[in-house]
């Protein structure tokens, strides 16, 4: 929605025009997007912010390579216009570690289990796993099965192991 | 391991230079270059200032090792440097791996390759590295020991090395870093230097973690698609859907009116017979824009129509009919004949026949094709996500006419290859566009581009027939294959088109007295290419399924029938890639290991069935065993076992990943995937109609058994694929009594109910 135009105050001074872009927060930093508000979040993150962690795999919401979290919920950045993220908090894989740079349990577990092969799908897998663990700290096999993200290299068994390990790390059962 | 084996020719290793105290070592041509009649490489790595030799030791003890092969998930950025690091006794914690660009220099008009083989395909990176990269490590170690000897006044043979140190008999330790400057002043002996004995390996054979993994999980790792070059434009192409089509109508007005769109450029179809990147490029219209979203909007706004020159009638349904007809006629090529099949079949106690159908499939690398190109008047720079940087280099030369010394190619980490990126059609497109536009460009394919304009795994119909005697021995075997050769339109003469389709020494050749292998050419306009373990995926499916059918028809145990066929352990000649021999004992061994692990000798739990299969692929021996059930038209894979003998294992963790991943790739493809053609164009558009398996469909674990071996390493990228599909089909038969002879299996499984 366009914001109302600035109006002159009683003093006759015209205030600086209000920024009319889309404001949103990415990995804790605030940004204003002034381009086409329909631009998919994926291409804005990549082409404009140069945050290339979220990947393009299909552009139709089918693969999950572009997964980001919006207010903690997984979203397909390829199908989400920037406008739809107005005023919200977007987390990409670059922002998964805490502000001190300590890795998220899923990142540690992914390293320990050496999950990636080509690695292209893994940002999406990590965010999907992080969201699952936030929702269900001790997920069942069926919960893990419900992750819809595609991995062309077939790393699913290691993803499963890494999610279990991340659950153990988060609950203090594993280092 | 003899001293300097394979390196007795001229040249060998030499110390290239010393700068700031750093020791830089390069290596020469691999010995086979000459044997194969390939180019005889000169001394490698002489551009030391750009840090592009294989080994560099910094004064602070840090060891920088170059990885020459692009890593697309097969782990060569980790495994190749570890081979070098082990030979030089470096401390892995002190090693930094740096990916190498294509190493090429101009040598009076001809390219001189600096790093030996750099392509990633055919599971050859590890075998190649085994032949030559160990020398790079051994040479570095030799120099450091000599330097320590000079400094301590002790004879070199009294010094030993360990994890970055030279150690004297009285336990004095000299760090590699402090020796580097001296070592760099020495020269290597002409006869080469001794390699380690295998007992002394400290890294080879130990599990490693991928060197890029920390960068991947934090989003820092750049793939090709993630690179941006200054004022470069994003290029996307609307492609003619017909294989033989051309532009009929174009109005770019609306596209050019979109903010951010800078140019629209038609790319005419190339004449048949052109070999550029892979073959002739198809017709397209490129949209060049400042960002991806503008390019996508521009693409959508183009008013473009295409026409097919042949009427756009090709269809895979008609192709199936063609195969049936062709198989009734005369063979195109008799590939192998032993004994007298016709007579032995006619007189056999039992005659069994079956036909198996393998569809076209796409590669669907997770990262779609892309390439960054910048062309200056006297220079070309590429960031090319390719498996074959040398052929990308040839493409650049062909299009630009630049000299070898004017072309720089970097290979980023690649989001999957599987053989797709052996072809450089997208590199050719990017170079053509950069040249035409006069600005750096980044070509990005969409998933629709990728699935609709791939080089597909060939379609084939395998007609098998066998005669079995009263004792249950197979006495006659015939495989007739009608297929669309992978080599079509690749400059290969017609009488060699069969060579990618049937491998004349594949089992059971050499094991059955009366045998006939014949190939029947199918004519179809869809481009074909290399798909992970190329012809093996189709042939293993047909042969290993058929063996199961024979076993069941003659009431034999499928494991015992296979073991009887393989016979006593012996070496059979094997002329195709992976030879020169096939060891029947190693194949029988992996089969038995897989059978034991799945519990072959015990009964499967009620409602479940077990199946197995084995295959020899590119020097590696793999067997699969699955335990499955089908209910309500849905398959459940309860257990998955793969036993692999791929020679000496460099990194057991990497082999586990490759065999497990190869297994899942094979299962996903066999269950779900087919590319079909209707009205002259590919039907499938994107993942919704080309559904790679998701987690829920796949086994929760693949139990990978690795056979310890002293044999030279074979690589592991492709061996995990071929035997998986037939083992699955055999398990489904055991569970349900339904034989699936047509891939993909999904529709057949749904009918089982
Ligand atoms: S790129 Fe967004 S789901 Fe595939
Ligand atoms: S690791 Fe390659 S697609 Fe998942």
Largest CA distance in chain B: 84
CA distance B612 to B194: 43
Asked if pLDDT for residue B717 goes beyond 90, the answer is: yes
B63-67 and B95-99: which strand pairing?
A: parallel
Q: Is A11 exposed, middle or buried (0-12, 13-18, 19+ CB in 10 A)?
A: exposed
Rounded to a whole number of angstroms, the CA Rg of chain B reads 27
Give how far A139 is from chain B: nearest CA, Å.
14
Q: Is A3 exposed, middle or buried (0-12, 13-18, 19+ CB in 10 A)?
A: exposed
What is the CA(A57)–ligand 1 centre distance, in A? 5
At B310 the pLDDT is 84
| 3-state SS record for B340-364 | CHHHHHHCCCEEEEEEEEECEECCC
At A1 the pLDDT is 45
Rounded to 10 deg, the angle between the A156-170 and B652-672 helix axes is 120
Mean per-residue pLDDT for B436-456? 97
Class of CATH domain B48-217: alpha beta
Nearest CA residue ID for atom 4, ligand 2: A151
Q: Which residue has the higher pLDDT, B32 or B400?
A: B400
What is the CA(B640)–ligand 1 centre distance, in A? 29
Asked if pLDDT for residue B48 goes beyond 50, the answer is: no
At B47 the pLDDT is 33
Domains B48-217 and B224-309+378-444 share a fold: no
Quickly state the pLDDT bin for B36 (edges 50, 70, 90).
Answer: very low
Backbone region of residue B108 per phi and psi (left: phi > 0; alpha: psi in -120 to 50; beta: other values)? left
Which of A109, A139, A157 is best to mutate for the B interface (most B CBs within 10 A)? A157
Each domain of chain A, given as residue ranges in start order, spans 22-95, 105-170
The stretches in chain A having pLDDT less than 50 are 1-2
Q: Tokens for A136? A: 């269900």
Condensed to tens digits (0 to 9), the pLDDT of residues B362-390 reads 999 999 999 999 999 999 999 999 999 99
At B3 the pLDDT is 34
Ligand 2 touching residue A120 (CB < 6 A): yes
Please report the atom of ligand 1 found closest to the CA of residue A55.
1
Condensed to tens digits (0 to 9), the pLDDT of residues B149-181 reads 999 999 999 999 999 999 999 999 999 999 988
Of A51, A120, A160, the CB nearest to B415: A120
Condensed to tens digits (0 to 9), the pLDDT of residues B218-265 reads 999 999 999 999 889 999 999 999 988 999 999 999 999 999 999 999
What is the CA(B433)–ligand 2 centre distance, in A? 30
Please report the atom of ligand 1 found closest to the CA of residue A64.
3
Condensed to tens digits (0 to 9), the pLDDT of residues B428-445 reads 999 999 999 999 999 999
CA distance B427 to B318: 33
**Closest CA relative to residue B694, chosen from A44, A124, A43, A151:** A151
At B26 the pLDDT is 58
Which of A26, A47, A83, A152 is best to mutate for the B interface (most B CBs within 10 A)? A152
Ligand 2 touching residue A40 (CB < 6 A): no
CA distance B344 to B348: 6
What is the CA(A65)–ligand 1 centre distance, in A? 5
Nearest CA residue ID for atom 3, ligand 1: A61
Print burial letters for B562-582: b (CB count within 10 Å at least 16), e (below 16).
Answer: bbbbbeeeeebebebebeeeb
At B133 the pLDDT is 87
**How far from A81 is each of A87, A121, B298, B301, B375, CA to CA, in Å?**
13, 21, 17, 19, 34
At B176 the pLDDT is 93
Give how far B343 is from chain A: nearest CA, Å.
46
At B655 the pLDDT is 97
Condensed to tens digits (0 to 9), the pLDDT of residues B641-673 reads 999 999 999 999 999 999 999 999 999 999 999
Report whether B727 contacts B626 (CB < 8 A).
yes
Asked if pLDDT for residue B6 goes beyond 50, the answer is: no
Please report the atom of ligand 1 found closest to the CA of residue A56.
1
Q: Tokens for B379? A: 């220079």
pTM over 0.90: yes
Asked if pLDDT for residue B31 goes beyond 50, the answer is: no
Quickly state the pLDDT bin for B39 (edges 50, 70, 90).
Answer: very low
Q: For residue A98, what is the nearest residue in chain B, using CA coordinates?
A: B218
Q: List the CATH code of the domain at B224-309+378-444.
A: 3.90.1170.50
Print burial letters for B29-44: b (CB count within 10 Å at least 16), e (below 16).
Answer: bbbbbeeeeeeebebb
Each domain of chain B, given as residue ranges in start order, spans 48-217, 224-309+378-444, 327-362+455-750
Nearest bound ligand to the CA of residue B367: 2
CA distance B41 to B78: 25
| Residue A169 near chain B (CB below 8 Å) | no
Of A117, A144, A160, the CB nearest to B73: A117
Among A40, A41, A54, A61, name the best residue to mutate to test ligand 1's pocket (greatest count of ligand atoms within 8 A of Cβ).
A61
- Tell me whether residues A117 and B657 touch, CB distance under 8 A: yes
Condensed to tens digits (0 to 9), the pLDDT of residues B320-373 reads 999 999 999 999 999 999 999 999 999 999 999 999 999 999 999 999 999 999
Please report the atom of ligand 2 found closest to the CA of residue A154.
4
Asked if pLDDT for residue B684 goes beyond 50, the answer is: yes
Place of tokens 């290691």: A158
Class of CATH domain A22-95: alpha beta
Mean of per-residue pLDDT scores for chain B = 91
Report whether B385 contacts B224 (CB < 8 A).
yes
Asked if pLDDT for residue B583 goes beyond 50, the answer is: yes
What is the CA(A98)–ligand 2 centre distance, in A? 25
Place of tokens 């979109």: B258
Q: Given 3.30.365.10, 3.40.50.150, 3.40.30.10, 1.20.58.100, which CATH number is that of B327-362+455-750? A: 3.30.365.10
At B28 the pLDDT is 41
B350-358 and B460-468: which strand pairing?
A: antiparallel
What percent of chain B lies above the pLDDT cut of 70?
93
Q: If you count them, how many residues does chain B have? A: 753
Rounded to 10 deg, the angle between the B652-672 and B724-736 helix axes is 60
Largest CA distance in chain A: 68
Q: Can you tell me the ipTM of this complex?
A: 0.93
Place of tokens 């290979």: B411
At A18 the pLDDT is 62
Q: Which residue has the higher pLDDT, B242 or B132?
A: B242
What is the CA(B419)–ligand 2 centre distance, in A? 15
Sheet containing strand B63-67, edge to edge, reads B14-19, B22-26, B55-57, B63-67, B95-99
Condensed to tens digits (0 to 9), the pLDDT of residues B487-523 reads 999 989 999 999 999 999 999 999 999 999 999 999 9
B514-521 and A29-33: which strand pairing?
A: unpaired
Residue B161 CB neighbour total at 10 angstroms: 20
Strand, helix or coil for residue B306: strand
Which of B74, B222, B224, B293 is best to mutate for the A interface (most A CBs within 10 A)? B293
Is the domain covering A105-170 a CATH 1.10.150.120 domain? yes
């Amino acid at each position: 929605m366009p914001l109302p135009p600035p109006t002159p105050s009683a003093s006759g001074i015209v205030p600086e025009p209000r920024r009319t872009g889309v404001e949103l927060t990415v990995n804790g930093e605030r940004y204003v997007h002034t381009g086409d508000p329909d631009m998919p979040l994926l291409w804005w993150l990549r082409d404009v912010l140069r945050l290339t962690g979220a990947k393009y795999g299909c552009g139709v919401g089918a693969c999950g390579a572009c997964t980001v979290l919006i207010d903690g919920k997984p979203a397909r950045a390829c199908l989400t216009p920037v406008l739809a993220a107005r005023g919200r908090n977007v987390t990409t894989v670059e922002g998964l570690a805490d502000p001190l740079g300590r890795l998220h349990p899923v990142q540690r577990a992914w390293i320990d289990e050496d999950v990636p092969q080509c690695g292209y799908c893994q940002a999406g897998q990590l965010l999907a796993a992080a969201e699952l663990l936030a929702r269900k700290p001790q997920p069942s096999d069926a919960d893990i099965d419900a992750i819809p993200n595609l991995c062309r290299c077939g790393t699913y068994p290691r993803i499963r192991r890494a999610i279990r390990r991340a659950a153990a790390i988060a609950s203090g059962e594993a280092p | 391991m003899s001293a300097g084996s394979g390196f007795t020719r001229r040249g060998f290793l030499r110390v290239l230079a010393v700068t700031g105290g750093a020791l830089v070592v390069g290596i020469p041509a691999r010995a086979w270059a000459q044997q194969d009649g390939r180019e005889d490489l000169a001394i490698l790595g002489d551009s030391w200032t750009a840090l592009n030799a294989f080994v560099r030791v910094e004064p602070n003890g840090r060891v920088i090792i170059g990885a020459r092969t692009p890593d697309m998930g097969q782990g060569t950025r980790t495994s190749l440097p570890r081979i070098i690091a082990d030979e030089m006794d470096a401390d892995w914690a002190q090693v930094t791996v740096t990916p190498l660009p294509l190493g090429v220099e101009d040598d009076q008009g001809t390219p001189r390759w600096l790093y030996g083989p750099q392509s990633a395909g055919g599971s050859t990176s590890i075998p190649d590295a085994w032949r030559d990269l160990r020398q790079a490590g051994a040479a570095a170690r030799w120099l450091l020991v000599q330097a320590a000897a000079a400094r301590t006044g002790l004879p070199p043979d009294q010094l030993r090395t360990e994890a970055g140190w030279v150690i004297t008999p009285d336990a004095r330790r000299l760090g590699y870093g402090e020796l580097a400057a001296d070592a760099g002043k020495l020269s290597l002996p002409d006869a080469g230097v001794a390699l380690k004995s295998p007992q002394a390996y400290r890294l080879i054979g130990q599990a490693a973690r991928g060197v890029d993994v920390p960068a991947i999980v934090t989003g820092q790792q750049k793939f090709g698609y993630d690179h941006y070059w200054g004022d470069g434009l994003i290029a996307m192409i609307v492609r003619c859907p017909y294989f033989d089509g051309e532009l009929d109508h174009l109005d770019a007005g609306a596209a050019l009116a979109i903010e951010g769109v800078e140019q629209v450029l038609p790319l005419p179809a190339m004449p048949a017979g052109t070999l550029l990147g892979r073959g002739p490029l198809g017709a397209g219209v490129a949209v060049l824009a400042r960002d991806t979203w503008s390019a996508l909007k521009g693409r959508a706004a183009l008013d473009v129509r295409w026409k097919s020159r042949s009427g756009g009638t090709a269809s895979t349904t008609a192709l199936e009919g063609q195969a049936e007809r062709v198989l009734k006629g005369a063979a195109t090529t008799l590939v192998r004949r032993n004994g007298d099949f016709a007579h032995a079949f006619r007189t056999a106690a039992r005659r069994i026949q079956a036909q198996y159908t393998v569809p076209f499939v796409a590669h669907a690398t997770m990262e779609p094709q892309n390439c960054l190109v910048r062309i200056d008047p006297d220079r070309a720079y590429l960031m090319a996500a390719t498996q074959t940087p040398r052929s990308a280099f040839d493409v650049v030369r062909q299009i630009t006419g630049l000299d070898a010394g004017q072309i720089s190619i970097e290979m980023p980490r690649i989001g999957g290859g599987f053989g797709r990126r052996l072809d450089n059609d997208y590199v050719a497109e990017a170079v053509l566009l950069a040249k035409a536009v006069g600005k750096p460009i980044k070509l990005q394919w969409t998933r629709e581009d990728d699935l609709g304009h791939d080089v597909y795994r060939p379609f084939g119909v395998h007609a098998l027939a066998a005669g079995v005697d009263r004792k249950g021995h197979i006495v006659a075997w015939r495989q007739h294959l009608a297929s669309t050769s992978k080599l079509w339109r690749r400059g290969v003469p017609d009488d060699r088109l069969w060579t990618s389709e049937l491998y004349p020494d594949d089992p059971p050749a050499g094991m059955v007295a009366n045998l006939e292998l014949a190939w029947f050419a199918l004519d179809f306009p869809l481009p074909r290419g290399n798909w992970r373990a190329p012809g093996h995926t189709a042939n293993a499916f047909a042969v290993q399924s058929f063996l199961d059918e024979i076993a069941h028809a003659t009431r034999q145990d499928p494991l015992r029938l296979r073991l009887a066929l393989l016979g006593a352990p012996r070496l059979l000649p094997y002329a195709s890639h992976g030879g020169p021999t096939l060891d029947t004992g190693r194949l029988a061994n992996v089969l038995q290991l897989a059978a034991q692990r799945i519990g072959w000798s015990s009964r499967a739990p009620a409602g479940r069935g077990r199946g197995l299969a084995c295959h020899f692929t590119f020097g590696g021996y793999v067997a699969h065993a699955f335990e499955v059930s089908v209910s309500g038209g849905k398959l459940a894979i309860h257990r998955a076992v793969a036993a692999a003998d791929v020679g000496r294992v460099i990194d057991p963790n990497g082999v586990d990943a490759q065999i497990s991943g190869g297994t899942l790739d094979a299962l996903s493809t066999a269950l779900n995937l087919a590319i079909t053609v209707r009205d002259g164009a590919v039907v499938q558009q994107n993942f919704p109609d080309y559904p790679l398996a998701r987690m829920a469909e796949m086994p929760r674990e693949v139990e990978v058994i690795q056979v310890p071996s002293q044999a030279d390493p074979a690589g592991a990228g492709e061996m995990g694929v071929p035997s998986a599909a037939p083992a699955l089909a055999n398990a489904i038969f055991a569970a349900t009594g339904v034989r699936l002879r047509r891939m993909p299996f999904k529709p057949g499984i749904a009918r089982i109910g």
